[in-house]
Amino acid sequence: MEFSTNAVRAGSDAKHDLMVQLELGGDAREVEIHSKVEKKFGEAIQEDVEQVLDEFGIRGVKIQIDDLGAWDFAIKARVRTAVKRALAQKGGEPA
């Protein structure tokens, strides 16, 4: 997934963590998921991401998840942080 310099990141590349790259804009949700447990939890990760985006009422976004087997709470927390950083950047405030 291609991002501009406005993209924000949250997370790490440690085992059982994930890296989120996110950029607000457009009028659709583009979600790309790479996960070592994708066959079993790809759909669950997609649902968690959508749930956080719903929480913030976000419609237009590009988001890439690189997951190394994180649990659901970690996935939601990392996505929330990424969304907050992106919103803060948009509002000109530090996250």
Partner 1 sequence: MVDEKYMEQIRKVPGWETKQAFSGAYNAHPEGSRMAPRPVKFFRPGTDKVKSLDYILDAIGLKDGMTISFHHCLRNGDAVMLYVVDSIAKKGIKDLTLSASSLSKVQDCLLPYFESGVITAVDTSGARSKLGSFIQKGGLKKPAIFRTHGGRARAIETGELHIDAAFIAAPACDRFGNLNGVEGKSACGSLGYAMPDAEYADHVIAVTDGLSDTPLDYVSIPQTQVDYVTTVDSIGDPAGIATGSIRVSKNPAELLISRYAAQVIAATPYFHDNMVFQFGSGGMAIATAGYIRQEMLKKNYTAAAGVGGVSGFHVQMLKEGLIKTFYDPQDFDLTAIDSLRTDIKHHEISASAYANPFSACPYVNMLDFTVLSATEIDVDFNVNVLTDSYGKLLGAPGGHPDAAAGAQMTLITMPLLRGRLPMLLDHVTTVVTPGESVDVLVTEYGIAVNPRRPDIAECLKGKGLPLTSIEALREKAVKLSGKASPLELSDKICGVVEYRDGSIIDVIHEL
The distance between the two most distant Cα atoms of the chain, rounded to a whole number of Å, is: 39
DSSP output for 60-75: SEEEEEEESS--HHHH
| Residue 43 interacting with partner 1 (CB under 8 A) | yes
Residue with smaller CB distance to partner 1, 2 or 40: 40
Of these, 5, 39, 91, 93, which contacts partner 1 (CB under 8 A)? 39
Residue with smaller CB distance to partner 1, 6 or 51: 51
Which parts of this chain interact with partner 1 (CB under 8 A)?
A: 15-16, 37, 39-44, 69-72
